[in-house]
Amino acid sequence: MNSEPVVGDVTVGDVTVGDVTVGDVTVGDVTVQRDVAVPMRDGTVLRADVYRPPQPGRYPALVLRTPYDKTVAQQVTYQHPARYARRGYLVVAQDVRGRYASDGTFAPYRHEAADGADTIAWAAGLDGCTGRVGTYGFSYAGASQLLAASERPAALCCAAPAFTSSDFYDDWTYVGGALNQAFVVSWVVQMLAVPDLARAGARPEAAAVLAAQADVPRLYRGRPLAGFPLLRDTGAAPYFFDWLRHDTRDEYWRSISIRERHARIAAPCLHIGGWYDTFIEGTLDNFARLAAGDDDGRQRLLVGPWAHTPWGRAVGGRDFGPQAGGVVDEAQLAWFDHWLKGSDNGGAPVRVFVMGANRWRDARGWPVEGTDTQRWYLHASRGANSVSGDGRLDRSPPADEPADVYVAMPARPVPSAGGRASSDPAVVPMGPADQSAVESRNDVLVYTTAPLASDLQVIGTVWLRLFAATDGPDCDWVAKLVDVDASGRTVNICGGILRARFRDSLERPTPLRPDEVQEYRLRVGSTANVFRRGHRLRLLITSSDFPQYDVNPNTGETAAATGPFDLRVATQAVFHAAARPSHLLLPVVADA
């Protein structure tokens, strides 16, 4: 090049970017082999970058398989592969099938078990490898590890799946039967569609999707979602429409489910997640199921106060203190050093960050030992509509109290405020957020405790046993657990949704009978939080959380196929009476 623009001390040209020499393919003292061909069992060639430690010798290998460009190697969260190489590992960063430098067609989830197993075997045979292999990666790259582990490749000694789920229907594409819309649409439009179109030579179409990213919130407002013109017209991401068509947990989803393969996974796994991550329930499920009967520390769990990204001390404008940041890379390296190099890896099987106290707590398992499930009952006399109502939470069962009634308006859904949506922050800011705007609506029921006389430590999964009715064939129930501080500021701790027709099964939905009272078991979510003395617990109940989840039209029809004029206002009733005592189930743990 005739000129080399300079930004600070970084020279951007064809020679050097910081200490990275692109032409000679070195990263400081780490040698990198780019685009190394990795043949799969069906003849498809995937490509990987191989990072070699500075000193000659034999080293174990770490494999990261990503759909988001191997050159980036998920450095949005992890340290660069060069750091792992300097710690004595051969690092293989690979583009999954059909993405970036790898051949083949990208079909989400479908090839990761076999391709991952083949790549692990290939990495074990690299020149300079000891034959021992570990894997790492988060989100899709976390799921790809578990799918590969289910093939039981002989060289796989350990894995570190992070921020990933146990099922691609439940707690990935759908949550409680509702489409996980903010995540799914943002993922497809911002992460998958453009590279797919560009590699297919459809550059005008790729440019159209790229331009649409400037106004992502607009993409959520169109109905029906099954007609999504941006993807229909460009031909991008045809699998997105498959996900909408398969809106129950049918064989399409079961055939690729990690949960269905748990019995086949033998590798030691370090499961890493965040309390505000969209996949936290799946992360906990992976650990709990794989750790069942495990007495030798082959399964570990590490959960911080993080959203999907980043993994620092500040999340959603809330600072969780110095212990919350800089944790994951060192935890992974200690895990790899133990299983791949034989170093000591002492410590408890479970380590969770307790928000509110802003400290780590060790435990022997999940749920943590010493959990006492407390019932906190809903009450109201005049009505719990909005924060101006008289909705209350306490430990006493209700007497005969009138039901709380509100209308659910699909055309005017309750807006998302923080939470677990992995999406563009302009759409749904992730993590803890102020709930005052949500609580001011009359279509939100608000139940609040008296100020706490002492600290209350909640660690585990919060459930709501709800007695409720609607006047239509279907509706949604949304619940949030909120922390109200002494000044009245409200912050969401966890939340969940249940589409009513999925109350008994995610595989076989059952329509409602209008006005018939049903008993629902709604998962509000898993957390670890200390509600401080003088704070109050608050429960919010409503029927939408948009665009985190798609809006139920309340007609019994599939939400994704419903047009803008096919919506039905539903009248909702929540009961708290002696015969129908709606209540929260709080997992309370004594301090230690």
For residues 136 and 158, give the distance between their C-alpha atoms in angstroms, rounded to a whole number.
Answer: 9
137: which residues sit within 8 A by CB, 6+ positions away?
A: 64, 65, 66, 74, 144, 145, 160, 161, 162
Per DSSP bridges, beta strands 178-179 and 174-175 are antiparallel
Q: State residue 220's pLDDT score.
A: 81
Average pLDDT over residues 509-537: 97
User: Tokens 């997640």 label which residue?
Assistant: 273
Per-residue pLDDT, averaged over 233-261, amounts to 96
Q: Closest Cα partner for 522 from 541, 497, 502?
A: 497
CA-CA distance, 360 to 357, in Å (whole number)?
9
pLDDT of residue 216: 78
Confidence of residue 353 (pLDDT cuts 50, 70, 90): very high
Position 430 scores a pLDDT of 86
- Using the predicted structure, report yes or no on whether residue 423 has a pLDDT greater than 80: no
Residue 347 or 551, more confident: 551
Q: Using the predicted structure, report yes or no on whether residue 7 has a pLDDT greater than 70.
A: no
How does DSSP assign 32-90, residue by residue? EEEEEEEE-TTSPEEEEEEEE-SS-S-EEEEEEEESS-TTTTTTTTSPPHHHHHHTT-E
Tokens of 211: 């331009």
Q: What is the pairing mode between strands 6-7 and 59-66?
A: unpaired
Say which DSSP state 227 is in. Answer: G
Q: What is the pLDDT of residue 549?
A: 95
pLDDT at 214: 83
pTM metric for this prediction: 0.94
pLDDT at 18 exceeding the cut of 50: no
pLDDT in tens, 437-481: 999 999 999 999 999 999 999 999 999 999 999 999 999 999 999
pLDDT tier, 217 (very low <50, low <70, confident <90, very high otherwise): confident
Tens-digit pLDDT profile for residues 297-346: 899 999 999 999 989 999 988 999 999 999 999 999 999 999 999 998 77
Cis peptide before 224, with omega less than 30 degrees from 0?
yes
CATH homologous superfamily of 25-162+265-312+321-354: Alpha/Beta hydrolase fold, catalytic domain (3.40.50.1820)
pLDDT in tens, 48-90: 999 999 999 999 999 999 999 999 999 999 999 999 999 999 9
CA gyration radius, the chain: 25
Name the residues annotated as catalytic: 139, 277, 308
pLDDT at 20 over 50: no
Burial class (CB in 10 A: 0-12, 13-18, 19+), 127: exposed
State the Cα–Cα distance between residues 15 and 426, nearest whole angstrom. Answer: 37
> Span 492-516, mean pLDDT?
96
**pLDDT bracket for residue 13 (50, 70, 90):** very low
Give the max Cα distance, the chain. Answer: 83
What mean pLDDT, rounded, does the chain reach?
A: 92
Is residue 381 predicted with pLDDT exceeding 50? yes
- Give the whole-angstrom CA distance, residue 562 versus residue 468: 25
Of the candidates 497, 522, 535, 537, the one whose C-alpha atom is nearest the C-alpha of residue 392 is 537
Question: How would you class 54 by CB atoms within 10 Å of its CB: exposed for 0-12, middle for 13-18, buried for 19 or more?
Answer: middle
| 25 pLDDT tier (thresholds 50, 70, 90) | low
Inform me whether the pLDDT recorded for 28 exceeds 90.
Answer: no
Helix and strand counts by DSSP (H, E) for the chain: 13, 31
- Per-residue pLDDT, 592: 58
- Token pair, residue 506, equals 């995610």
**Is 145:120 a contact under the CB 8 Å cutoff?**
no
Q: Per the structure block, which two tokens stand in for 57?
A: 């010798």
200 close to 68: Cβ distance less than 8 angstroms: no
Which amino acid would we find at residue 380? A
Residue-level pLDDT at 14: 31
Q: Note whether 393 and 524 are within 8 A (CB).
A: no
How far is 291 from 298, CA to CA, in rounded Å? 8
**Residue given tokens 């708290």 in the structure block:** 576
Residue-range domain boundaries for the chain: 25-162+265-312+321-354, 174-252, 371-589
CB 512 within 8 A of CB 518: yes
The mean per-residue pLDDT over the stretch 36-50 comes to: 98
pLDDT band, residue 183 (cuts 50/70/90): very high
**Angstrom distances, CA of residue 521 to CA of 460, 491, 583:** 16, 23, 10
Percentage with pLDDT > 90 across the chain: 86
Q: What would the mean pLDDT of 383-388 be, rounded to a whole number?
A: 98
Contacts of 255 (CB under 8 A, 6+ apart): none
Contact of 550 with 559, CB cutoff 8 Å: yes
127-136, 261-270, 407-416, 422-431: least confidently modelled range: 422-431
Class (C level, CATH) for 371-589: mainly beta
Give 94-126 pLDDT, tens digit per residue.
999 999 999 999 999 999 999 999 999 999 999
